[in-house]
Structure 1
Amino acid sequence: MSVYVAKSNPALMQIQHLLLQMQQAMVAGKWLQVQDCDRQISTLVQQIKQAAEYHELKVELQLVKQRYKALLQLAKRQQQMLEQKMQRFQDNKTAVVAYQQTTEALMEMKS
């Protein structure tokens, strides 16, 4: 994922930095940090929308929006991978419990 840095506006530069941090946090599974970055990005976007130069920054904001959408797709993939891991864990847990119960029943029958 490419990083486009808007040099024309400090808030846009901060958003770009936060998007990078957000991506790194997603890959690392640090979801509270992702949430914090997302909250900061929202605040900065609102500040830009209220600024006098908002209309001049629409193109750059559109690029930010595209990058944000790409990160949402990354988050969705991460979520799916986590759900699969959790399902495998649950399946394994169920199998272990069933095996344990069968083994205990066999041991009781032998005694």
Structure 2
Amino acid sequence: MSVYVAKSNPALMQIQQLLLQMQQAMVAGNWILVQNLDRQISAQVQQIKQGAEHQELHVELQLIKQRYQALLQLAKRQQKMLEQKMQRFQDTKTAVVAYQLTTQASMEQNS
């Protein structure tokens, strides 16, 4: 999921690096870092949009936007996997509690 950016523009190169770090943080499940990187990317994009080169960098900004959207899809998939894992955990927890209550009741009947 790489994107070409103008090598002559340090801000675009920085955004590309931040996007890579963001992808790695998502895969690692480090959502606090993802949030921090997202803020940094937004600040960099705003800075570029306010600059004089904004029009010349339109194509590169579109590529960055596409990569960002792909990362959002990755985040959604990660979120779905986490929700499923949490649901399995909750189901297991409910089963364990039910087992404990049944065992406890059975032991009290035998006493």
> SS at the partner of 2:62?
helix
Write the distance in 2 (CA, Å) between the matches of 1:66 and 1:21: 16
TM-score (structure 2 length as normaliser): 0.98
> SS at the partner of 1:8?
coil
Q: Which position in structure 1 is the counterpart of 2:60?
A: 60
CA RMSD of aligned residues (A): 0.7
Deviations 1:29-58 (CA, angstroms, capped at 9, x unpaired) = 000100011000000000000000100000
Q: Which position in structure 2 is the counterpart of 1:103?
A: 103
> SS at the partner of 2:7?
coil
Write the distance in 2 (CA, Å) between the matches of 1:6 and 1:29: 30
Q: How far off is 1:3 after superposition?
A: 3.7
Q: How far off is 1:23 after superposition?
A: 0.1
Q: Which position in structure 2 is the counterpart of 1:82?
A: 82
Q: How far off is 1:76 after superposition?
A: 0.2
Q: Percent identity?
A: 81
Deviations 1:63-107 (CA, angstroms, capped at 9, x unpaired) = 000000000000000000000000000000000000000000000
Code of the residue aligned with 1:13 in structure 2: it is: M
Structure 2 spans left out of the alignment, 5+ residues: none
Q: Which position in structure 1 is the counterpart of 2:33?
A: 33
Deviations 1:7-44 (CA, angstroms, capped at 9, x unpaired) = 12110000000000000000000001000110000000
- Counting matched residue pairs gives 111
Q: How far off is 1:2 after superposition?
A: 2.4
TM-score (structure 1 length as normaliser): 0.98
Extract structure 1 runs of 4+ deviating beyond 6 A.
none
> SS at the partner of 1:44?
helix
Write the distance in 1 (CA, Å) between the matches of 2:71 and 2:6: 18
Write the distance in 1 (CA, Å) between the matches of 2:82 and 2:6: 34
